[in-house]
Amino acid sequence: MKIKIRRILSVCLALLMLINGVTGCGRHREPKEDETALYYINAEGTDLVKEAYKITGDSRNSRIRYALKSLKKEPDTIEYKSAFQNHTAVKSWSVTAGKMDLHLNDAFGKMNTTSRLLLEAAVVQTLTQIDGVGYVRFYQENKPVKDEHGKPEGYLCAADFVQNTGSSLHSYQSADLLLYYANAKGDKLKEESVKVRYDSNTALEKVIVEQLVKGPEDVSEYPVISQDTEILSVSTKDGICYVNLDEECQNTKYKIDPRLSIYAIVNSITANGAAGKVQILIGGKANVQYQGSINLNKPFSADPAIVEEEQ
């Protein structure tokens, strides 16, 4: 009798292990706050799914190669899949000053709009977790990928896409922004029209500051804020937009008039958002001197006189 019971228990245990093995391969683990992840698309091809995954390598380039290879490989589950569908593949890539140029083959152009957008989102969200990669620009063969209006997309960062797994693709929205960067002489601001795509849960004012940190598309213009600057917070109250940056904003790579950094933020926000004035804080403090010459103790209004007139 005992032998029979043991046999029955053994069979039940084997069945339980088999069931766990079958169902377990379909589970995915959300990354913890300090973990990296790979981004896939769900089985329906409508949204992103992120899976905790250690991106390894002894250098930036080796980690990029590892991440791209991992993204291309189909995961061992039917719940989600690689965003690289229909023979889309990476042909080449390079990174300069934190900006990555990623060349895809012609198959990318044959994907539908949703699939292309999700592929871009999965790649950008994954690669920008790697130190030394802040932005990614996509090319089809050697031609820059264009948006739905026929304009080059430019460099994309993680904030350009939905951050939360499970968020709908339709929570994206687009905006045409008028931004200001430094001219070649570093003594005036120049206007640049930019079309951005962003999460509807992100304040437009924050998107504007992120674009300024990213830098201009026009090679004849210069950034006004260090690309290493961390945006601590952006909020608007009673018609004043409060922009809180870390100390890195005090450092600029190019020799430009310090006023350009301040008024690039002020003019850009007031030209596009609902705020009429902008209060800039550094490390949460307003009573500081920007680059030792501009007191930030009160909100600024836009200054059209600092903008270079178009020829």
E strand or H helix that includes residue 189: strand 189-199
Cα–Cα distance measured from residue 258 to residue 264, given in angstroms and rounded to the nearest whole number? 10
**Count of other CB atoms within 10 angstroms of residue 53:** 22
pLDDT of residue 311: 63
Q: Are strands 294-295 and 289-290 parallel, antiparallel or unpaired?
A: antiparallel
Task: List 138's β-bridge partners, or say none.
Answer: 102
Task: Name which of 21-30, 157-166, 211-220, 252-261 the model is least confident about.
Answer: 21-30
Distance (Å, whole) CA 302 – CA 259: 12
Confirm whether pTM is higher than 0.85. Answer: no
What is the b/e burial string over 241-270, where b = at least 16 CB atoms within 10 angstroms of the residue's CB? bbbbbeeebbebeeebbbbbbbbbbbbbbb
Q: Evaluate if residue 14 carries a pLDDT over 90.
A: no
Task: Tell me the pLDDT tens digit for each residue of 283-300.
Answer: 888 899 999 889 999 999
Of the listed ranges 223-237, 261-275, 291-305, the least confidently predicted one is 223-237
| pLDDT of 77 higher than 60 | yes
199, 202, 206, 209 alpha-carbon torsion, rounded to 10°: -10
> Degrees (nearest 5) of the Cα angle 98, 102, 103?
155
Alpha carbon distance 72, 85 (integer Å):
9
3-state secondary structure (DSSP) of residue 262: helix
pLDDT given for residue 4 in this prediction: 44
DSSP single-letter state for residue 308: P
**Which two three-digit tokens encode residue 85?**
């569908």
Long-range interactions of 55-60: CB distance < 8 A, separation 24+ = 55/126, 55/129, 55/130, 60/95, 60/130, 60/131, 60/132, 60/133
202 pLDDT tier (thresholds 50, 70, 90): confident
Q: Is the pLDDT of residue 262 over 90?
A: yes
Q: Average pLDDT in the 37-47 region?
A: 86
Whether 275 contacts 265, CB under 8 Å = no
Output the pLDDT for position 124. 93
**Does the pLDDT value for residue 252 go beyond 90?**
no
Angstrom distance (rounded) from CA 252 to CA 212? 13
Compute the mean pLDDT over every residue in the chain, rounded to the nearest whole number.
83
Q: Say what the pLDDT of residue 6 is.
A: 42
Q: How far apart are CA 115 and CA 121, in angstroms?
A: 10
Residue 7, pLDDT > 50, answer no
Q: How confident is the model at residue 171 (pLDDT cuts 50, 70, 90)?
A: low
Q: Is the pLDDT of residue 29 over 80?
A: no
